[in-house]
Chain A
Amino acid sequence: MKLNERSVAHYALSDSPADHTGFLRTWWGSGTAPGPSGAGRRCWFVLKGNLLFSFESREGRAPLSLAVLEGCTVELAEAPVPEEFAFAIRFSAPGVRPYLLAADGPAAQEAWVKALSRASFGYMRLVVRELEAQLREARKSLASHRRSSCRAAASRCKPPAPDHCSPALENGHSPCKDRSPGSTAEEGGSRPSGWASLEWEVQGSASLLLGRGQSPVSPETSCFSTLHDWYGQEILELRQGWLKRARVGRAGWEQKDRP
């Protein structure tokens, strides 16, 4: 099976942020032995998104290995030699060999296990989706707050502002609308309990927050700069529409004016 390896290696070395780095002892593919053996090999590891790269050294310019952290669980494990801080990445698909790794100390071990267990694309997507919903709510309640204050002032009210005020927002939409977050296979039942409870935590507090978002807007949202930006956006939109209409109108006049 082919992979765009050159691009993958380029990504590994690019200056996009690493989510975790450090030295780990590894037993993967060491020598020809089928199973792990010996003291393993000390390599520099870089976690970027859902990809875990290893390098010969910190300055290594070519990744030695790549692991794709999808459909896997991370758990504490026993190393083949007395090594106290080992952990394993296990894949739910049958026949995929787990990776056995070991950190230098308990703090490093914990940090790695935490970072690796939250590395999947599905986890990132879940959080993005949650924030997307929160922002929509915040905008809605701000708009309704504005509407009610308009009414109070008995002034002419404009239609509520659109949900999307910037192109980045539109692009950030979660790709799959037809599936609920819990039903994708990569987020399926094969996660360790820690993962499952974390997801539950995220979703649980999400619904709490959404509930709160429906209440009338909180006092913080009426701070001047927020409102200024908010009205500013609307004025820009109105101005654009006005300019367009003015152009069309002018074109019409010019035609009529001709003999």
Chain B
Amino acid sequence: MFAIARSELIQIFRNRLVLVTGLIIPVAISAYFVYQHELFADQASLGYIAAVVVFTVMAFGLYATSVTTLASRRQNLFLKRLRSTAAGDADILTGLILPVTVIALVQVVAILAVFGLVTTAPAEVLLLAVAILATLAMMVGLALATAGLTNSPEHAQVTTLPISLLVIAVASWVGIAGTEDLTVLKRALPGGSATELMVDAWNGGVPLADSLPLLAPTLAWVVVAISLASRMFRWEPRR
């Protein structure tokens, strides 16, 4: 697993396209949100900025990059090559996804740390961490599922758009409009409950007992994403 992860890390830093889409774009967008935090806080809250930063990094840095990587590795039969070794499927997938996942997590932690220093620290760090980790797991699952529908790295530019835009749109809708109306719908959408958790965790003022039930739909989306991944992921190109 670590041998695969190491080789993936080498490839990320040798591939300018992946570097730009996976590292630079999410950081640039997040930096803009942090820089303009007063403007966005007026329209919503600091918690909204935290949530939209997390979803931007997860959508572009983790999800889109993972789909592109997996489609590319399948297209050039690298996945088949790895399956010709003694490595198990779980080890192979973990090794392939691990570098992108760790980079995305480091980006989120670093950006939120700066954001916390520039503004105020989150009220419930543990709850925020759980929401971020659940979002990360959901996006990894969705990446594996989407990779099953993606024939090539070029095709990934199209197939990743719906989910990338959807989760950022949901985060913005829930973060700006709140969940007082259309509560069930907003919480049922992918990333909806996770956004509400992040907003609550950053802003504070909501009893923990009121926030904890939001973990159920958040984790349900993790289960749905992993279930979709196990059904849709393909190891070899279609013939």
Q: Do A and B bind each other?
A: no
